[in-house]
Amino acid sequence: MPRPRSYFWVLIIPLVLFAAWLGARSLNTHALWIDEIYSIYESGGSYFGPLSPFDIAVRVSASSTWSPVYNFTLAAWGAVTGWSPVAGRALSWLFGLLSIAMIYRLARAMMPKDRQFALFAAVFISGSAFYLNYLHELRGYTLHILIGCTAAALYWHALRRPGRALYYGLILML
């Protein structure tokens, strides 16, 4: 007999929409600050580029302690959407919203019988003023949360059901 379908995940939709609204309010309210300008500079954006991926990696290694993953992503994003502050901040905003959904999925996978645990994890991260502040920063903070949650979810699934695809995805995330 098949398991009855659960639609408990529908509760996460208003939560993500509320976080999206809170983050989107500030996408264009502040001027670029120096770290955001460094992100654009390291990515070869606006009048600092364009740069090849190798040049981005060299520039990031010379002036930053971060990995160049965010800068590669920002360079591709900027090539498509442009280099306005709103467009650049929207990338972090989208990563932040995906992170909330990923935290929900990770908590749901770790505690499949306790649905409230996953909802609490999503409420906790999306209600954090510290996290919501970084939803509109042109920096890689939200991408690091997304990568960390994705790596943890892949690791959890690889422990439960080993498979090559999970291992390759885990290697890619690390």
Residue-wise pLDDT for 66-123, tens only, equals: 888 888 999 999 989 988 889 989 999 999 999 998 998 899 888 888 878 888 888 8
Tell me the pLDDT tens digit for each residue of 112-130.
Answer: 888 788 888 888 888 888 8
Burial class from Cβ neighbours inside 10 Å (0-12, 13-18, 19+) for residue 64 reads: middle
pTM of the model: 0.84
Query: Structure tokens of 152?
Result: 């943890």
Name the burial class of residue 39, with classes exposed (0-12), middle (13-18) and buried (19+) by CB atoms within 10 angstroms of its CB.
Answer: buried
Question: Which DSSP letter does residue 82 get?
Answer: -
Give the model confidence (pLDDT) of 35-69 as tens digits: 888 888 888 887 787 888 888 888 888 887 788 88
Helix/strand/coil for 115? helix
In eight-state DSSP terms, residue 33 is: P
Using CB atoms within 10 A of its CB, is residue 170 exposed (0-12), middle (13-18) or buried (19+)? middle
